[in-house]
Amino acid sequence: MSDEGVPARLFDLARRAQAPEALSDHGLRVRFGDPADAVIQVGQVWRAHWEDVSALLLLLATEVRDVLAAPVSIDPPAEDERCFVIDASLTAFAIDATVWADMAGSVPVRVLERAVDQWNEAIPDWILQRSGSGGELPQGVRPGRPTSDEFGPSALVRAEIADDLDALARAPGLPAATPEEPWQDLASLLRGKLDLAALRAALDLPQPEVMRILRGKAPLTTDQMAVVASVTGLTTEQVAESVRPLPLGLVLKAEHPRWRPTWQQRARTHGITEAQARLTASYGAYALAARETRATEPDWDQRLREFLRDEAEPAGES
């Protein structure tokens, strides 16, 4: 793969179609700007990626932490009567693209990686408003051809896409605070029945770190949740829920695609997963903001940058 964020086979297809520039890193930057300034808009085609799963998605609508999107395939060629095929002249791929409109659903923003194309908004508008009730198709769009083989190539592509969408939907997100959900920290749940020494020994952490856990100010790994549960007698679910959820504003910033390269690099540096890199940095930024007294919402992007800067330059170093 010559450019991160775009599947290698897209470049191969583009080369064969003699249109590689639109999907090169330079071409993507010309059309969409720097990935750090990414803006999510209806009509864009994004590459979604999580772990070993990748998919192309046409954005139909934006939601709070999700997008309503329809999967797109370009290789291998596949279609059925529930699809719509976009003419090659309307795409950056320079080959026909199939939109599996009936499989559209909510996909978390946190799995979006990079915008790779922008289609006329008439296409997502038609899919949302009129695909189920007939009407004239947008120019350059045709209905998919029916297939009679329920085990043929198109059926296999449809099944693979369904599996990929399920995997993307399961990508772990940040815990977000909601007004209607009560929250209790671990100390409150234990109501004074805590053996602090035993908990410190079991977690093998200094007392300040254990106190942060007791107050719900530090994220816990799955293994740590199991340790705390075994020492306290609580269930792992109770322990997991004792971590203070993050402000929604911070969650929306940290889960935006513009931060993904940072989380991926942090994960490589620390030998952790992307989800863990995002989670611990978000709690670090939250801790920075908690030290301040202010009436307005913090600039969460700035707090995230400050945490990462302090992490890279520990106190006492210059």
DSSP characters for 126-153? HHHHTTTS--PPPTTEEEPPP---TTSH
Q: Look at residue 57 and tell me whether its pLDDT is greater than 50.
A: yes
* Mean pLDDT score, 5-12: 55
CA distances from 293 to 26, 166, 194, 289 (A): 44, 42, 31, 8
CA proximity to 73, closest of 157, 168, 163, 4: 157
Burial of 107 (0-12, 13-18, 19+ CB in 10 A): buried
How far, in Å, CA of 168 to CA of 7, rounded?
A: 16
Which amino acid, one-letter code, is at 237?
A: E
Q: Look at residue 14 and tell me whether its pLDDT is greater than 70.
A: no
CA proximity to 103, closest of 127, 121, 129: 127
pLDDT of residue 1: 35
CA distances from 24 to 21, 113, 265 (A): 5, 15, 21
**pLDDT single digits (tens) 253-284:** 999 999 999 999 999 999 999 999 999 999 99
E-strand stretches of the chain: 44-50, 53-62, 66-73, 84-86, 97-99, 105-108, 112-118, 141-143
pLDDT of residue 316: 54
- Phi and psi at residue 254, to the nearest 5°: -70, -25
Q: What angle do CA 72, 168, 145 make, to 5 degrees?
A: 25
Q: Look at residue 292 and tell me whether its pLDDT is greater than 90.
A: no
Q: What domains, with CATH codes, occur in the chain? A: 8-169 (2.30.30.110), 186-312 (no CATH)
Which of 87-91, 157-161, 218-222 is least confident?
218-222
pLDDT of residue 3: 46
* Mean pLDDT score, 286-312: 85
Could you tell me the pLDDT band of residue 44, with boundaries at 50, 70 and 90? very high
* Mean pLDDT score, 292-304: 83
Over the chain, what is the mean pLDDT?
86
pLDDT of residue 318: 44
* Mean pLDDT score, 63-92: 92
Could you tell me the pLDDT band of residue 224, with boundaries at 50, 70 and 90? confident
CA proximity to 144, closest of 75, 96, 78, 81: 81
* Mean pLDDT score, 203-225: 87
